[in-house]
Structure 1
Amino acid sequence: MSDTQFHPLAISQIKTETDDTVSLYFAIPEDLTETYKYTQGQYLTLRFTINGQEVRRAYSMSSSPLEPHLAVTVKRVTGGLVSNYIHDQLKAGDEVDVMPPQGRFYTKLDPAQRKTYYLFGAGSGITPLMSILKTTLEAEGQSSIHLLYGSRQDDQIIFYEELEALTQRYEGQLTVTYIVSQPRLEKAGGIGGWFKKGIPSWAGPTGRIDAVALDRFLDEYPAKGSGAEYFICGPGAMIDTVEANLVEHGINKKQIHAERFVNAADVAASKATGGVGAGEVKVHLRGESISLNVPAGKTILEALLDAKHDAPYSCMAGACSTCMAKVVTGKVRMDVCYALDEDEVAKGYVLACQSHPEGGPVELTFDV
């Protein structure tokens, strides 16, 4: 099991990216340098106590491991407990409990490779893609990268200035295509301008990342080199659209990598009701054997937490792999599973936050 212990890290800087998005830069103590080494595309789990309640959230790193700093980027979510706390309460110098980096939203880089990378992001889904993009440009200089980035409005394009600078610096290696779904309207101006229809502030492509936009994008930037990889991050509907389109284009699913930004409330609302039975579960966690009675309607992770065991978790939505475990014996059913591929599930790996015992006793281990 990877390191899931929290450490207090001081915020060295809070940078405003857009009106509703900030980046948190963390200072890493010298004795924790190795602990917080990471791979492009990974995430951090932050832990807070808000209104007397412990809450955790996973945030992707927007920094590159080749850069001298570590940063996550957080977009304010309407009604979001943690994102609003981060925006309204945190300041430079504050300490945050941070779990070491995790996640598998990456492929191994090799300076000898000459690949084509296609990145598809919407909204804050750009965050891990920035880490992948910046790292690949430097570590795999013969490869090319094409980013298709969707935003609601042009003034909400996160990292716009940085992306523009990167396209100039890596001309011929990096292209960025923006698509805006709701361009802002500016007043027409002049005599009577207040009464005229507004002029769109955005002159680039408009709409959403749909099948038409994808076809146009892939036709404009055909793959070159020894192979291609496809990375998608953003809302689930966008990911589903891109994945389906890529498969229709004959892309092997093993070349398609997706990171879903979902929350536990959305997943809970979509869960099927009924048919979720209780059961006895034996859990191996950090060398300890734990016997649990998992009630009907509860996940294995929820039962562990209810029994005051410090099990690893983060999103509670099946979207990250922090709570990944392996079934030793018995049968488990998951509500949803966004973080594991078919091969891993076939080998018995599960997400404890989505897992229920089914059809008899279960033995499960986190120590893998």
Structure 2
Amino acid sequence: MARFHALRVTEVEPLTDDSVALTFAVPPELREAYRHAAGQHLALRRRVDGEEVRRTYSICSPAPEPGGSGPRALRVGVRLVEGGAFSTYALKEIAVGDEVEVMTPAGRFTLEPAPGLYAAVVGGSGITPVLSIAATLLARERTARFCLVRGDRTAASTMFLEEVADLKDRYPDRFQLVTALSREEQQAGLPSGRLDRERLTALLPALLPVGAVAGWFLCGPYGLVTGAEQALRELGVPRERVHQEIFHVADAPAPPRPAAPAHSTLTARLDGRSGTWPVRDGESLLDTVLRVRPDAPYACKGGVCGTCRAFLVSGEVRMDRNFALEPEETEAGYVLACQSRPVTEGVEVDFDR
């Protein structure tokens, strides 16, 4: 089960005018709990006006070596969201020495290092998990190669410029970087413009042998990720080679809500204990569980992070949105509790599977 622990902030590093990198020290007794795979994220928690606020931020530091001790420190990137309850706090208030409640790592937007060619298309803060993925892969697999295609508004708004440049210097023959700026011309490289489906369909085959890429990692705003996925589909890339994580789903279309049964009950197993409760009108399965089990796992409540994944034991539900589960997971019976609403009068889920 995911757990929160208070971790001390050891560094607050400005990256751009609207983003910072936060580093947390991990004490020896918690290092195994915070062992993470490249690409995973952390949920950070605070209370604002008496209400709990959680936000997820991807780990940008490389994953610890297998078999060794867990990480001594964790580093995440935070970009300011207008009116954001946590990002505003992170950029304007958090200081070295502060303690922040941090959940143990979660997420399945990951890569287990293996030989081969890998590629990523990212936009904005979508670089954060991919930075960890690329750095971990290139350090552990001496024959692996990685191609990073990133889009940003301007050079000044580009997060982790130095870290990406360091990868290019360290692995000049195995790390390929292509940058597109949407609001600024570059002296060299691609002309300005967004990385949309049409542009990526033409660009990607010119950069690398698309069919030889063992894994594609798409991360960023909804429009960029869906456009990149459509481009890869047009280029004949098998679905199982494409992995995606969406940041900022505000521009995603809102799905219609299904008609709910007049009375429905939810049975849920969590941390070895089961309970049955009525589902209130309009509630998600997660909200039903949280009324009596505040330890239920969740982070974003937006269908993005996958922290609330549960196995559907019986009954039928419909998910409003799903930006976290792979098709193989939904076919196996997993749902996102924060997005699932009952269709049948009885539903049973298991958070422990």
**TM-score under structure 1 normalisation?**
0.89
Per the TM alignment, residue 308 of structure 1 is displaced from its structure 2 partner at its CA by: 4.8
- Tell me if 1:32 matches 2:30: yes
Q: How does 1:1-368 map to 2 (within 5 A)?
A: 3-66=1-64, 69-110=73-114, 113=115, 115-183=116-184, 204-205=189-190, 206-223=192-209, 227-262=213-248, 270-273=254-257, 275-277=259-261, 278-368=263-353
Counterparts of 1:73 and 1:227, CA distance in 2: 27
Counterparts of 1:125 and 1:83, CA distance in 2: 16
For residues 234-286 of structure 1, what are the alpha-carbon distances to aligned partners after superposition, in whole Å with 9 as ceiling and x for unaligned?
011111100011011110000000011136x777x824245134511111111
Aligned residue in 1 for 2:68: none
Counterparts of 2:178 and 2:72, CA distance in 1: 28
Secondary structure, aligned partner of 2:167: helix
Counterparts of 2:349 and 2:257, CA distance in 1: 24
Per the TM alignment, residue 203 of structure 1 is displaced from its structure 2 partner at its CA by: 5.0
Counterparts of 2:246 and 2:133, CA distance in 1: 16
Give, as a single letter, the amino acid of the residue that structure 1 aligns with 2:349: L
Per the TM alignment, residue 304 of structure 1 is displaced from its structure 2 partner at its CA by: 1.6
Secondary structure, aligned partner of 1:102: coil
Per the TM alignment, residue 204 of structure 1 is displaced from its structure 2 partner at its CA by: 4.0
Kindly indicate whether the alpha-carbon contact (under 8 Å) linking 2:57 and 2:78 is maintained by their aligned counterparts in 1.
yes
For residues 181-212 of structure 1, what are the alpha-carbon distances to aligned partners after superposition, in whole Å with 9 as ceiling and x for unaligned?
111xxxxxxxxxxxxxxxx5765421011234
Distance 1:325 1:171, change over 3 A: same
Kindly indicate whether the alpha-carbon contact (under 8 Å) linking 1:12 and 1:93 is maintained by their aligned counterparts in 2.
yes
> Which consecutive unaligned segments of at least 5 residues does structure 1 have?
184-199
Counterparts of 2:217 and 2:186, CA distance in 1: 29
Kindly indicate whether the alpha-carbon contact (under 8 Å) linking 1:143 and 1:225 is maintained by their aligned counterparts in 2.
no
Secondary structure, aligned partner of 1:14: strand
The higher radius of gyration belongs to 1
For residues 105-150 of structure 1, what are the alpha-carbon distances to aligned partners after superposition, in whole Å with 9 as ceiling and x for unaligned?
113213xx2x111111101011001001111111112111111110
Kindly indicate whether the alpha-carbon contact (under 8 Å) linking 1:154 and 1:202 is maintained by their aligned counterparts in 2.
no
Distance 1:347 1:30, change over 3 A: same
Kindly indicate whether the alpha-carbon contact (under 8 Å) linking 1:118 and 1:231 is maintained by their aligned counterparts in 2.
yes
Secondary structure, aligned partner of 2:352: coil
**TM-score under structure 2 normalisation?**
0.92
Greater alpha carbon shift after TM alignment, 357-366 vs 87-96? 357-366
Per the TM alignment, residue 217 of structure 1 is displaced from its structure 2 partner at its CA by: 3.3
> Which consecutive unaligned segments of at least 5 residues does structure 2 have?
65-70
Counterparts of 1:142 and 1:221, CA distance in 2: 19
Distance 1:266 1:290, change over 3 A: farther
Kindly indicate whether the alpha-carbon contact (under 8 Å) linking 1:262 and 1:317 is maintained by their aligned counterparts in 2.
no
Counterparts of 1:262 and 1:279, CA distance in 2: 32
Per the TM alignment, residue 322 of structure 1 is displaced from its structure 2 partner at its CA by: 0.7
> What CA RMSD, in Å, does the superposition of the two structures yield over aligned residues?
2.0
Kindly indicate whether the alpha-carbon contact (under 8 Å) linking 2:257 and 2:320 is maintained by their aligned counterparts in 1.
no
